[in-house]
Structure 1
Amino acid sequence: MTIGFPSRTAVSACAICVAGLLALAPAAAVARTGTDPGGPGGVRAAAPQPALLYRSGTQVRPRAGAPRIPAVSALSWLVADARTGEVLAAHDAHRRLPPASTLKTLFALTVLPALPSGIRHEVTEAELAGIGPGSSLVGVAEGRTYQIADLWRGVFLNSGNDAVHVLAALTGGWRNAAVRMQAKARALGARDTQVRSPDGYDTPGQVSSAYDLAVFGRAGLRDADFARYCATAEAMFPGTGDRPYGIRNTNRLLTGADGVEPYPGLIGVKNGYTSNAGNTLVAAAHRGGRTLVVTVMNPQAGGGFTVYEETRALLDWGFGAAGRVDPVGSLDALRAGPRPAVLPVAVALDPDGEASGAPGWPETGAIAGAAALGAGAVALVLRWVPGRAARG
């Protein structure tokens, strides 16, 4: 295994996206504090107690004029305000289910800070060992040299388990990655998650929940690198010699592939599929100064694209319900240590879950817009390869 720093770092397709950041930055969202009628002595609190989200069935507290919850067949789902962490509505939010590749959000939260994106690494045979049969792959090859940024694009766009294996090997190994991911989940207040395979591959005992996945998605969007990768629709990936090939994000709500209409203002995040988990999706979108994060796990009706349409319906409901529902919980409710009811707009969460000065929600919205600009430029040089099944 060799790691080296290049004398000159190649400009990736994502660099095109970054050029539009300042021009596209949206206005900061204005937070609204919810109420908890059941609080001690009737005192108004930042958000209801988390116990409500442990109840079975659909939980929502509509005010007059609130839109009706759409019909959703997923076993579990959740809609939350990404800035404040308020949960606007949920169905079996803490039900433990296989997460498929949406677990890669937690992998990225854990491993991204440890590896500078410009590092170049020559992949070894040992680093590609143990990839599960039927895994989604981006095409990482033994003996070929990649930048760390290339590997992350392979993770976020193609859901490449081969890229996950290499990144895990560079940061302590497969088992170590699982242990660190578990610790990270607990620090963020994600108590339903049990990590067995860092790439999300079906493994006995591996579970997460709509609540936990929303926590991971929200935390990830406060990291500039995470936000940039998850918003990237298309990129070039190193191939044989000097012949890179095009890769495209498997999140069809972002790309509009296969007849799925792209969602306006979508930032991205992560989709997944395995035979055991069914289709899963964590999605975030920005509209009118507000950012929502939605998790949908294992729709029971329709085909493989139902997860996108049910997510679309929940996003539409969430934007329509703004100011017309009281929160039923908070994504901050189970975090370790003291926590603010509302994080300042320009504040991010660092790898330890504490406040830092990293980019916040304005930058996240900008990244989504910039990625759309970059997609047009990348399309000029794309050389498509046969599609692979998106499996965790």
Structure 2
Amino acid sequence: MRDSSRLTRRAALGLTAAALPLSAASPASAATTVVGGERLARGGIQVRGATGLPKKITAQAWLLADCDSGEVLASYNAHRRLPPASTLKMLFADTVLKKFERTGRYTVKDSDISDVPSGSSLVGIKAGITYTVEQLWQGVFLRSGNDAVHVLSHMNGGLAKTVAEMQAKAVDLQALDTHVVSPDGFDHNGQLSSAYDLTLFARHGLKDEEFRGYCGTRTADFPAGGKKTFQIQNTDRLLTGAWGLGVYKGLIGVKNGYTSHAGNTFTGAATRGGRTLLVTVMHPAAGSNAVYEQTAALLDWGFGNGSSAQSVGLLVDPLSEGGASASPSKGAAGASGTSAAAAGSSKPSPWRLAEGGAGTLALLGAGAWALRRRRRTAVAATATAAATAAVAEPDLRDARVSDPGDTPAG
């Protein structure tokens, strides 16, 4: 029954123009175009055709969606812009993961890790040790290591280039609530995302076998120098059952995050009965387990009462994969060009970021029309300026938060 009406629902959804508040504290996005449907721009709970949502959800924003169809089954403040913490590493992986062969080897230099912000979550990378690319990504996904992110960013041409490419990737994914300042998710003024955008990042990443494998890995042996290793464990508590939580049945990833400013944020995906659901929960009240408990509760509802839920919105497809993009003059009824075939496709994006600063600038130029129409001028200027070779890499060591590591919260 769901498949028979999917095309109709997808055609009715899409991008809706709206004038929205620019405040980061607002329930709505700062973007001038509502991505995914008009209902997702509204404050409060959005659900249709199902009852029994968990009552004790204290998150400032959350979203539950079907991973394959992209249909949003329920949400709360879906486009509210909030600090994403290390969940932004999903976008980092979406952008950089396919650049290097996993068997490649790299010897870390002091300069690769000298700009890691003080207080960051670390996997324990040391200068002078040679790591495989696979091990560096294990450091990113399992331990949320900012040191691993910085090494990979420098391998990619530097922090500024990586930030610019991440912003361009966000534009392609139509994640218009997201403004990237640092590749690791560490707290910086203006670094924001939303439950909607984080779910887009997760859905796109899970189409890739390597991404899916890394985020679902529970433990790994990590180099300590010479022939010595130490074991690292994934900080996703629903995956490992740590901190008094049980392993969530069917969980396949994706990424958690915590800073003292952002609080706890988590995007999780689980599969049951051949159906995969995605949940993003941002900034719940109460203790560090709350983000996982509330994610589990929403997943339980989605696999149960939520099976009858009708779409309140849509996770749109990337522009590079045929995703529809409405101009600000169009409403939901006019944005009917979303590709149903692209949703849930396992085919990786053909869009590849060109190497070097010139390639980055060309890529940003290709998406400039979207930035001009749908983002504030400041965001476009930041992404473009960061991409130019004349701009020095930012010093990320003097952030506002003194204790932003993921360790206390997972």
Q: Is the pair's TM-score, using the shorter chain for normalization, greater than 0.5?
A: yes
One-letter amino acid of the structure 1 residue matched with residue 346 of structure 2 = V
Contact 1:280 1:297 in 2 (8 A): yes
* Displacement of 1:60: 0.7
Which position in structure 2 is the counterpart of 1:167?
152
Residue matched to 2:163: 178
Measure how far apart 1:46 and its partner are.
4.1
Which residue of structure 1 aligns with residue 407 of structure 2?
389
Q: Kindly report which structure 2 residues correspond to 1:1-392, keeping only aligned pairs within 5 A, or say none.
A: 31=3, 33-34=5-6, 45-46=10-11, 48-49=13-14, 50-63=37-50, 66-300=51-285, 302-332=286-316, 335=319, 338-339=322-323, 340-343=339-342, 347-350=346-349, 352=351, 389=407
Structure 2 counterpart of 1:332, which letter? V
Distance in 2 (alpha carbons) for counterparts of 1:243 and 1:56 = 52
Q: 1:236 to 1:303 in 2, by over 3 A?
A: same
CA apart distance, 1:71: 2.6
SS in 2 for 1:194: coil
User: How far did 1:345 drift?
Assistant: 5.9
SS in 2 for 1:180: helix
Change (3 A) 1:321 1:153: same
* Number of aligned residue pairs: 321
Deviations 1:149-201 (A, max 9, x none): 00000000000000000000001110100000000011011000000010000
SS in structure 1 of the partner of residue 243 of structure 2: helix
Q: Over residues 315-369 of structure 1, what are the superposed CA-to-partner deviations in whole Å (9 max), with x where a residue is unaligned?
A: 001111354111011011784673322547663332629xxxxxxxxxxxxxxxx
For the residue of structure 1 that corresponds to 2:74, the secondary structure is strand
Contact 1:31 1:83 in 2 (8 A): no
Partner Cα separation in structure 2 for residue 185 and residue 388 of structure 1: 23
Shift of 1:120: 0.6
Q: Which runs of 5+ in 1 are unaligned?
A: 1-29, 37-43, 354-386
Distance (Å, rounded) in 2 between the aligned partners of 1:53 and 1:130: 38
Decide whether aligned partners of structure 1 residues 319 and 343 sit closer, same or farther in structure 2, where only a CA change above 3 A counts: farther
The residue identity in structure 2 corresponding to 1:59 is: Q
CA 1:60 to 1:309, structure 2 compared with 1: closer, same or farther past 3 Å?
A: same
SS at match of 1:260: coil
Give unmatched runs, 5+ long, in structure 2: 15-36, 324-338, 353-404
Q: Distance in 2 between matches of 1:352 and 1:322?
A: 34
Partner of 1:22: none
Query: Considering only aligned residues, what root-mean-square deviation do their CA atoms show, in Å?
Result: 2.3
Distance in 2, matches of 1:132 and 1:171, equals 19
Give the conservation status (yes or no) of the 8 Å contact 1:34–1:47: no
SS at structure 1 position matched to 2:255: strand
TM-score, normalised with respect to structure 1: 0.77
Q: Which amino acid aligns with 2:42?
A: R
